[in-house]
Structure 1
Amino acid sequence: MALRVLLLHQNFPGQFQHLAPALVNRGDDVVAVGRRTGSYPALAGRLRWLATGGNVHNDLRHGDPERRLLAPWHQARRVVDCLTPLAASGWRPDVVLAHCFWGDALLLDDLFPAAPLVALLELDLSSPQVWGGAASPGRRQLQQWADALAIRRMAVGVTASRFQRDSYPSWLHPRLRVIHEGVDLQACAPDPLARLQLPGGVNLGPEAMVLSFAARSLEPLRGLDRLLAVLPALQRRLPRLQVVLAGACDRGCYGAAPPGSESWLAHLLARLGDSIDRSRLHTPGLLPRSQLRCLFQISRLHVYLSRPYVPSWSLLEAMACGAPVLASHDAGVEGLVLEGVNGRLLPADDPHALLDLLVPLLEQPAAAAALRLGARRHVAAHFDHRHCVSAQIELLDAVARGQELPSP
């Protein structure tokens, strides 16, 4: 029997990019609520996508702490306003899947008190595992008060990796399931003919010595400072090297805000001054998905230097495209990058080790051939989006029908 499914995510589709079409295609009645609307052209007329407006992400990063605390409440009210006409028409969800951090599910009971909630829980920000256990855990607990209330309300929670699950206290683990969103292995695949056209006329292909780095925003939390710290020496040793930093250059998204009015990229580059060759450093901003895949396909080495945090989609997509990976050895990449099998691992915050590994991996592409193959095989074995979506749907079905959930 078809389900009525409500998907809440302020940045919809977000983690539901593969799940939402799968639900619609099997005949479920799906309503999605996000900050803005968009479209799945193949699902036109079959997916109801409602927009709340507002910008809760910016509100949660505002300098006024009161505004940050109230941001989830205002987002919850926008969601209720958006869904009230639908509820008045008699529509009721059989199950709700919500990314709860921004407050989207806070007032769920005002409209749908009987609807079971599956809560997408990304990370416990106050965990000592996150950001290396840096200070101010109390403030981080306040940042995720909407998550805390969702945990009380939910039938079950979902996280994408063991590291993310383990950031939460052990008493909560029996109520959490680890299911990744998955990677589209057809879209993200090796292509020996791939080329990347960058602004300014730069055209790069597999013959170039390309070092890739990708993040939603270029900031220290994602390891930008670690890479730029060794860039002068790296460029001196490798005159043919082309470095591509893909990501928003004008803001920080996850970690601390940059000093003053500068972006983190501008701040860190200013400190390097004339010690680097800017003509061999490319910062194209946020690339469209097709161009980002081209970057991974031509990359001689993909660098992933995030502090312990939510593992980036770009890491798995780069591996699916056959890019060998050099990553910081911490809990955030455990089970994803396997030393000598699908990538190389280096001790965190060791610039000498970083430089010593970067140079031979970039100079000797043939030696990294086994890593390329291992990277693709690992993602195909564990993160094929078809298998991940099947596990997500199986969980939603069980919750909607009130079935007892198997042990995690």
Structure 2
Amino acid sequence: MKILFVHQNFPGQFPHLAPALVARGHQVLALTDEKNQRTSPVQVVRYRAPEPVSTDGVLGRTYSEHAQRGLMAARGARALRDRHGFTPDIIIGHTGWGETLFLREIWPDAKLLVYAELMYRTRGHDVGFDPGISPDSDEGRFMTVARSAHLIQGIVQADAALAPTRYQADSFPAGLRDRITVIHDGIDTTRVCPDPQASLTLPDGRVLRAGDEVLSYVSRSLEPYRGFHVFMRALPEVLAARPAAQVVLVGAEGVSYGAAPRDGRSWKQLMLDELGDRLDLSRVHFVGRQSYDDYLALIRLARVHCYLTYPFVLSWSLTETMAAGGYVVASDTEPVREVIRDGENGRLVPFFDVAALSAALIRGLDGDRDAPRLRQAARQTILDGYDLHRHSLPRQIEWVESFAPMR
């Protein structure tokens, strides 16, 4: 078949699927934003980046921005069709940025498969979950409804959709859920595995090794959606109880989800100002974003890994830490409960309970007698249901090829 991937940040969620389809003899091409600098596993063509959209109505801003990106992607697709004679049998795209909105008009006979990452909802998910950070309001819910328009349109147009977890699939309305197949992106458990010799050199020259008393926290950005504020508030008690502990935080200082503080500070600076001299900064290391190898070294050597999240998209860092045999203390929120069972393959604490989080982290750093069992069970969970080569990739390939046109 001829298969076209469409993703503004390709390969995005498809670094393994795209080359695997090539290996099976399909002609695979990817259409991406001209500003995307990521290395691609397959041949790439680029569409012109959309211009910034100015709208008078705030409610329509998200749809306008994503419709504009969809227009630019469609123009790129039209050039592929008219100038190069390319007509795909299957299009695989991500609905999150509107790129698939108009592709039906370019190739009406192609099967359109979409990645359905999450549907915004006004209740029961991230909106209103953390009133101390973002108070619930009618206006906020109105905005959430408006932001969902392109997601609904994208999945309605599609022949089928793929979601990585049951929680994320169930975020979509019941009438759309039967279009969604749940297959996790997959964890390469051969590469992401325990390593008793793991070590990491910090920016100040300190070398951390497996066996050291290290507490790790990983997020794309240091922000409330991933519980950064709760984690920071737990640290004074943890550091006081464990004088040898070193804390390493991976993540950028900006925001990836939600909003920055209204006073112009970053969430990192806000928390540092709040905690003041209660925090021993000689033992708290903010290392920014890391190379993948350094990140792997950290989650392998950490005695305890903390993962907190709103009811939202589940992070790869959690499943990768489990695959590395990590001892995980995580938030007792719905997406986490899909992979961690308290006392079986990790520890769960209520998201907002700072005292409970401190106690759980101290217990892990002190040498929880159940740690070996929990670490082994965490890795086994990933091997049994999330392994890239045994489960996820074969199922993804089978799913895509099930839409092959009749010859």
**Structure 2 length normalisation: TM-score?**
0.91
For residues 236-262 of structure 1, the C-alpha deviation after alignment (integer angstroms, 9 at most, x for no partner) is 11111111111112x111122232332
Name the residue aligned to 1:265. 268
Q: Is 2:74 the partner of 1:80? A: yes
> Which of 349, 354, 365 is equivalent to 1:346?
349
Q: Which residue identity does 1:131 align to in structure 2?
A: D
Shift in Å, 1:311: 0.7
> Which of 102, 118, 123 is equivalent to 1:128?
123
Judge conservation of contact 1:106–1:149 (CA < 8 Å) in 2: yes
Identical columns (%): 34
Shift in Å, 1:291: 0.9
Shift in Å, 1:53: 5.3
- Structure 1 Cα separation of the partners of residues 215 and 286 of structure 2: 12
Name the residue aligned to 2:227. 223
Name the residue aligned to 2:172. 168
Name the residue aligned to 2:307. 304
Mapping for residues 81-120 of structure 1, pairs under 5 Å: 81-88=75-82, 89-120=84-115
Judge conservation of contact 1:300–1:365 (CA < 8 Å) in 2: no
> Which of 195, 200, 215 is equivalent to 1:196?
200
How many residues align structurally? Answer: 392
For residues 349-377 of structure 1, the C-alpha deviation after alignment (integer angstroms, 9 at most, x for no partner) is 11121122111111115531111111111
Which deviates more from structure 2 when the two are superposed, residues 272-281 or residues 63-72? 63-72
Q: Which residue identity does 1:12 align to in structure 2?
A: F
Judge conservation of contact 1:155–1:399 (CA < 8 Å) in 2: no
Change (3 A) 1:186 1:383: same
Judge conservation of contact 1:252–1:258 (CA < 8 Å) in 2: no
Q: Which residue identity does 1:138 align to in structure 2?
A: F
> Which of 129, 135, 158 is equivalent to 2:162?
158
Change (3 A) 1:59 1:336: farther
Name the residue aligned to 2:132. none
Judge conservation of contact 1:194–1:206 (CA < 8 Å) in 2: yes
Runs of at least 4 residues off by over 4 Å: 63-67
Name the residue aligned to 2:47. 52
For residues 194-253 of structure 1, the C-alpha deviation after alignment (integer angstroms, 9 at most, x for no partner) is 10112121211113211111111110010001111111111111111111111112x111
For residues 126-176 of structure 1, the C-alpha deviation after alignment (integer angstroms, 9 at most, x for no partner) is 152311655323311221322111122111111111111111222222211
For residues 362-407 of structure 1, the C-alpha deviation after alignment (integer angstroms, 9 at most, x for no partner) is 111553111111111110111011221111111111123379xxxx
Residue aligned with 1:130, SS: coil
Q: Structure 1: any 5+ residue segments left out of the alignment? A: 404-408
Name the residue aligned to 1:38. 38
Q: CA RMSD in A?
A: 2.2
- Structure 2 Cα separation of the partners of residues 237 and 132 of structure 1: 35
Shift in Å, 1:85: 2.8
Q: Structure 2: any 5+ residue segments left out of the alignment? A: 130-135
Judge conservation of contact 1:121–1:158 (CA < 8 Å) in 2: yes
Which deviates more from structure 2 when the two are superposed, residues 162-171 or residues 134-143? 134-143
